Amino acid sequence: MIKRFDLIVLTVADAVRSQAFYKTVFNMEPMSSELGIGVAFGEEKILFQGIGDELRHHALEGSGHISLISDLSAEQLIMHFEQLQVELLEGPVDQGDYVLFVMYDLDRNLIQVKSKKSH
C-alpha cells in the first residue's frame, strides 16, 4: 500500500544545527526549498521546523508529522480507511497531481497520505 515516504517534518530547537547533524551523522544531503530547511536521501526528505512554527495541524510536543505516498488510488484509500474506521481530519483533498488524506495515529502524530492521480 505505502511505497515510500514523501516527507517527514520534525520540530527542532535549531533547524540549521539539525541539518548539519543529519548531514554529518547520516550523510544526508542538505536542502532548502519553499517548504523550509531539511535534508534528503534518495527521494525521501526530512524537514525541520522550529518550535512555534508548526503547520496548521499542530503536532503535539514531542510528536511527529509524516507524509506518505501510496500506490493505491484515492477511491481505494477511501474504502480502506472506511473499512478500518479511520477518522480523517481532512480528505480527500485535491492537490493537483495528488489527493491528500490527513489523520492522527494512535499517539496523535499527524499522518498525511497522498495518492497520485492517474492521468
Return the residue matching grid coordinates 489523520: 103
Residue 101 confidence (pLDDT): 95
**What does pTM read for this prediction?**
0.63
8-53 and 58-119: same fold?
yes
Residue 15 confidence (pLDDT): 87
Residue 79 confidence (pLDDT): 94
Query: Taking the domains of the chain in order of start, what are their residue ranges?
Result: 8-53, 58-119
CATH 3.20.20.70 fits 8-53, yes or no: no
Give me the residues of the chain with pLDDT under 70, please.
53-63, 107, 119
Beta bridge partners of 40: 29, 45
Residue 37 confidence (pLDDT): 92
Residue 63 confidence (pLDDT): 65
Q: Residue 31, class by beta-carbon neighbours within 10 Å (0-12 exposed, 13-18 middle, 19+ buried)?
A: middle
| Cα 79 from Cα 117, distance rounded (Å) | 16
Secondary-structure class of domain 58-119 per CATH = alpha beta
Residue 55 confidence (pLDDT): 59
The secondary structure of 7-68 as a DSSP string is EEEEEES-HHHHHHHHHHHH-PEEEEETTEEEEEETTEEEEEEETT---SSPPPTT--EEEE
Question: Which residues contact residue 56 at a Cβ distance below 8 angstroms, ignoring those fewer than 6 apart?
Answer: none
Q: Is 82 helix (H, G, I), strand (E, B) or coil?
A: helix
